[in-house]
């Protein structure tokens, strides 16, 4: 028998990067399944993908509308023209993705081209728009998206990544004001911010926030899960999200590869459904490989917590711990750069008179006490060093936090580490290390750690103990 299998080209695209990944048709349809399906049986429902890359969301929406409107608009061409001109709208991320998306939706890169499935457009872009935008610079940053001027102030021939959806109004993009019933998509995840070692700032939250400002009936986006408890500049966004009781469904993927094969996004990804007209508890689904755990409906915000706790069992355990009203370990964890020394600082290879031992990236070195910029009072104390960046916090209990190092008096560290302490003596320090090594300690960190970074905040749920003796899980 002749093989008639024809793969969907949208399953075969290579990702642009780990931050701009293509959505598969299967994943797009899982997100569309969250919506009330009667939306696809109405000739008035209006959809927008504000960050179209391949056009997959718009194509799958159009396919559902074609089936749903068959009785209302029996003529196929009339039905296609109605859907393409009145119901399906997109804003591309770049020139390249605009052409790609139009090929996907209209079957040609020009909406009014000879081979377009739509016959009523009088311009090449149709309803899948892209306009080159300029960043608006203030103090070296774009006031709309936070892009670093040194990185993105570019000539016209080079892509500036000034995404239209967060730099222009809907009226400017489509030449008319419109209200959308559904906004859905997979936004870009981050932009290089000009910091050291390819430092980047998240940008996906701006697409969510801008979508909410348009007040659709429904909003669904797939984004990194780092916003649950961490992420540079995401504190306000996290507060908005966990306090928003219109988020009715959340699908949480611990491993981003379960959505985007071959892509690593530390902390995983999630997609959600926001319903303007309904509020209440959220239905949360946790995905680990092919296994799906359906949690009891609950609010994203727990009393006394400023992070989203991924696991239902974690909420139960946290509430039991809080009954004791103990102080928490974050109170003795330093800020970033506890001694004012950047990661690249390297001490001398050999000790010298009156030197201070420096725990640095790659081992230890020796520096003069005068080189220490702050935290002088901690230098001669007993303390513990823990790496401030370690894994993503998604492999309990093994890879939650780094291996602790006892910091004797006359030692300091670069910002590779945070310090915990001070402690009265070495014995007390070692007893704390025994506590840190327990499954209990690491589970309490696990509740709030969803990225590589491990600042003081990730220890906020860990209760303090009496460190005059060692600790075991059995004792706890």
Q: Which two tokens stand for residue 129?
A: 């728009």
Per-residue pLDDT at 1 exceeds 50: no
pLDDT of residue 336: 86
pLDDT band, residue 16 (cuts 50/70/90): low
Q: Is 292 helix (H, G, I), strand (E, B) or coil?
A: strand
What are residue 249's DSSP bridge partners?
273, 283
- Out of 3.40.50.150, 3.30.360.10, 3.30.420.40, 3.50.50.60, the CATH code matching 9-319 is 3.40.50.150
Work out the pLDDT band at 197, boundaries 50, 70, 90. very low
Residue 406, both tokens: 């006892």
Which range is least confidently modeled, 31-45, 70-84, 295-309, 451-465?
451-465
Helix (H, G, I), strand (E, B) or coil at 30: helix
Give 267-322 pLDDT, tens digit per residue: 899 999 999 999 999 999 999 888 999 999 999 998 888 899 988 888 999 999 98
User: Residue 232 has what pLDDT?
Assistant: 79
Phi, psi of 293 (to 5 degrees): -105, 120
Confidence band, pLDDT 50/70/90 cuts, at residue 173: very high
List C-alpha distances in Å: 182 to 58, 64, 72, 106, 316.
11, 14, 21, 20, 35
Q: Please state, in angstroms and rounded to a whole number, the distance separating the CA atoms of residues 473 and 289.
A: 29
| pLDDT the model gives residue 425 | 97
To which H or E segment does residue 177 belong? none
pLDDT band, very low/low/confident/very high, at 127 (cuts 50, 70, 90): very high
The whole-angstrom separation of Cα 98 and Cα 93 is 7
Six-digit token string for 123: 């311009």
Q: How far is CA 122 from CA 82, 90, 115, 216, in A?
A: 14, 17, 14, 28
Q: Which of 39-53, 223-237, 289-303, 304-318 has the highest mean pLDDT?
A: 39-53
pLDDT at 264 over 90: no
Chain centroid to Cα 345, Å, comes to 30
Q: What average pLDDT does range 152-181 have in this prediction?
A: 90
pTM of the shown model: 0.87
Domain boundaries, the chain: 9-319, 329-459
Q: Are 338 and 418 in contact (CB under 8 A)?
A: yes
Least confident residue range of 135-149, 202-216, 231-245, 447-461: 447-461
Q: How far apart are CA 223 and CA 188, in angstroms?
A: 9
What's the rounded mean pLDDT across residues 465-474?
96
- Window from 19-23, 240-244, 336-340 with minimum mean pLDDT: 19-23
Mean pLDDT of 383-410: 79
Closest by CA to 77, choosing from 43, 108, 118, is 118
Could you tell me which of 271, 202, 288, 278 has the C-alpha nearest to residue 246? Answer: 278
The beta-strand segments (E) located in 93-129 are 128-129
Sheet strands (E) in 254-353: 269-275, 283-288, 291-294
């Amino acid at each position: 028998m002749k093989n008639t299998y024809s793969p969907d080209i949208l399953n075969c695209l290579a990702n642009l990067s780990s931050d701009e990944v293509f959505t598969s048709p299967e994943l797009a349809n899982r997100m569309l399944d969250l919506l009330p399906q009667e939306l696809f049986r109405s000739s008035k429902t209006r959809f927008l993908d504000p960050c179209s890359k391949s056009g997959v969301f718009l194509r799958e929406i159009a396919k559902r509308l074609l089936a749903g409107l068959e009785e209302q608009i029996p003529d196929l061409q009339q039905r296609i023209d109605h859907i393409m001109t009145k119901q399906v709208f997109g804003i591309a991320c770049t020139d390249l993705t605009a052409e790609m998306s139009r090929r996907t939706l209209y079957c040609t890169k020009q909406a009014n081209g000879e081979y377009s499935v739509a016959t009523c457009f009088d311009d090449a872009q149709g309803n899948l728009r892209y306009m080159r935008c300029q960043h608006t610079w203030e103090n070296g940053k774009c006031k709309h998206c936070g892009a670093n001027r040194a990185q993105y102030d570019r000539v016209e021939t080079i892509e500036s990544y000034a995404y239209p959806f967060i730099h222009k109004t809907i009226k400017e993009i489509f030449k008319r004001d419109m209200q959308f019933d559904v906004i859905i998509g997979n936004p870009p995840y981050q932009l290089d911010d000009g910091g050291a070692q390819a430092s980047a700032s998240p940008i996906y939250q701006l697409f969510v926030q801008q979508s909410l400002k348009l007040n659709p009936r429904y909003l669904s986006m797939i984004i990194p899960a780092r916003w649950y408890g961490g992420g540079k500049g995401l504190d306000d966004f996290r507060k908005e999200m966990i306090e928003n009781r219109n988020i009715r469904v959340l699908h949480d993927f611990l491993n981003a590869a379960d959505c985007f094969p071959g892509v690593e996004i530390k902390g995983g990804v999630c997609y959600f459904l926001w319903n303007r007209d309904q509020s209440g508890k959220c239905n949360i689904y946790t995905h680990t490989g092919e296994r799906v755990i359906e949690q009891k409906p609950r609010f994203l915000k727990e009393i006394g917590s400023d992070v989203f706790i991924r696991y239902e069992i974690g909420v139960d355990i946290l509430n039991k711990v809080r009954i004791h009203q103990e102080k928490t370990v974050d109170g003795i964890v330093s800020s970033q750069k506890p001694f004012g020394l950047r990661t690249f600082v390297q001490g001398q290879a050999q000790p010298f008179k009156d030197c201070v031992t420096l725990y640095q990236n790659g081992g230890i070195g020796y520096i003069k006490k005068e080189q220490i910029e702050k935290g002088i009072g901690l230098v001669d104390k007993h303390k513990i060093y823990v790496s401030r960046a370690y894994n993503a916090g998604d492999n309990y209990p093994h890879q939650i936090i780094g291996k602790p190092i006892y910091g004797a008096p006359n030692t300091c560290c670069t910002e590779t580490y945070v310090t915990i302490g001070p402690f009265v003596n070495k014995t007390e320090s070692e007893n704390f290390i025994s506590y840190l090594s327990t499954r209990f300690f690491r589970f309490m960190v696990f509740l709030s750690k969803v990225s590589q970074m491990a600042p003081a905040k990730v220890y906020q749920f860990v209760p303090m103990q009496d460190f005059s003796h060692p600790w075991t899980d059995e004792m706890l």
